[in-house]
């Protein structure tokens, strides 16, 4: 079972920031938070990941709460091409952690509206 | 930018036939994954390879599915015989190491009639 909970759907106006929440209240100290997105009929696309500090790259920003029980993915200026299903996943990166693979939940369907 | 390649992109077959999917991971990636994604759901892991060895096939229906990565580079996933319930997207992913970020290919969409 997925270790995260996300709202099933969200809308965002084009040009505005899209803030996608994720709850991971049972996250352990060695587990990272990963975000992927999947545009219709394509493979999932890696967006960003983090452990406990906020992270930013050319696609998005990831804000992780101090207790690490939740996070928010921020798309600063959403475009129509950002319409997709967004998956939040927690996963260990410990070297001896066989079997700790990505477990995808149903994700959040983000619709960017013109 | 290096990408994971998959073929074919689409496959239509009749039930009881055999089908095969091919994946070429990003060069240098030791870990390769096959996922199945049913419409409306997230991907589910079928099998994980570390180089040429299977390290996790606990969710692979072994009576009809098989996977191989003979030289530790590209991989083939086979279904024989295909059933109606196998209709899904089959995704391949790779990572430099099993603890690292996974990168996905475009997938093969299978329709079993």
Across B15-28, average pLDDT: 97
Task: Flag if B91 and A95 touch (Cβ within 8 Å).
Answer: no
pLDDT (0 to 100) of residue A94: 62
pLDDT (0 to 100) of residue A103: 85
Q: Which one, of A43, A46, A21, A45, lies nearest residue A110 by Cα?
A: A21
Band (pLDDT 50/70/90 cuts) for residue A2 is low
Question: How high does pLDDT run on average in chain B?
Answer: 94
Would you say residue A91 has pLDDT above 90? no
**Partner A contacted by B24 (CB < 8 A):** no
Give the residue from A32, A43, A91, A95 with the most B CB atoms within 10 Å of its CB, the best one to mutate.
A43
DSSP-assigned letters across all residues of A2-43: -S-B--SEEEEETTS-EEEEEE-TT--TTEEEEEEEE-TTS-
Least confident of A68-82, A98-112, B21-35: A98-112
Query: How far apart are the C-alpha atoms of A35 and A56, rounded to whole Å?
Result: 12
Would you say residue A105 has pLDDT above 80? yes
Per residue in B93-104, pLDDT tens? 999 988 789 999
Would you say residue A100 has pLDDT above 70? no
Per residue in B53-78, pLDDT tens? 999 998 999 999 999 998 989 999 99
pLDDT (0 to 100) of residue B72: 87
- Rounded to the nearest angstrom, the gap between the alpha carbon of residue B104 and the centroid of all alpha carbons in its chain is 10
Share of chain B above pLDDT 70, in %: 100
Query: How far apart are the C-alpha atoms of A29 and A8, rounded to whole Å?
Result: 27
Three-class SS of chain B: CCCCEEECCEEEECCCCCEEEEEECCCCCCEEEEEEECCCCCCEEEEEEECCEEEECCCCCCCCEEEECCCCCCEEEEECCCCHHHCEEEEEEEECCCCCCCEECCCEEEEEC
Task: Flag if B42 and A106 touch (Cβ within 8 Å).
Answer: yes
Across A62-86, average pLDDT: 96
Would you say residue B43 has pLDDT above 60? yes
DSSP-assigned letters across all residues of A41-93: TS--EEEEEESSS-EE-SS-EEEE-TTSSEEEEEETT--GGG-EEEEEEEEE-
pLDDT (0 to 100) of residue A92: 76
From the CB of residue A73, how many other CB atoms can be counted at a distance below 10 Å?
24
Of A45, A99, A103, the CB nearest to B56: A99
Task: Flag if A93 and B103 touch (Cβ within 8 Å).
Answer: no
């Amino acid at each position: 079972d997925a270790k995260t909970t996300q709202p099933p759907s969200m809308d965002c106006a084009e040009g505005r920031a899209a803030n996608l929440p994720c709850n991971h209240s049972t996250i352990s100290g060695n587990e990272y938070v990963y975000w992927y997105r999947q545009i219709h009929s394509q493979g999932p696309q890696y967006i960003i990941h983090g452990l406990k500090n906020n992270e930013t790259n050319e696609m998005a920003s990831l804000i992780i709460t101090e207790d690490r029980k939740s996070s928010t993915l921020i798309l600063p200026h959403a475009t129509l091409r950002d319409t997709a299903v967004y998956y939040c996943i927690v996963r260990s990166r410990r070297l001896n952690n066989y079997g700790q693979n990505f477990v995808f939940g149903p994700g959040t369907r983000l619709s960017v509206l013109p | 930018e290096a990408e994971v390649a998959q073929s074919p992109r689409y496959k239509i077959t009749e039930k009881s036939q055999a089908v095969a999917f091919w994946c070429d991971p990003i060069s240098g990636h030791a870990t390769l994954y096959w996922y199945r994604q049913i419409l409306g759901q997230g991907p589910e892991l079928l099998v994980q390879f570390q180089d040429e060895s299977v390290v996790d096939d606990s969710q692979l229906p072994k009576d009809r599915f098989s996977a191989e990565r003979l030289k530790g580079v590209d991989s083939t996933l086979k279904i024989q015989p295909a059933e109606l319930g196998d209709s899904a997207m089959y995704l391949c992913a790779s990572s430099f190491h099993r603890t690292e970020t996974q990168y996905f290919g475009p997938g093969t969409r299978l329709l079993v009639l």
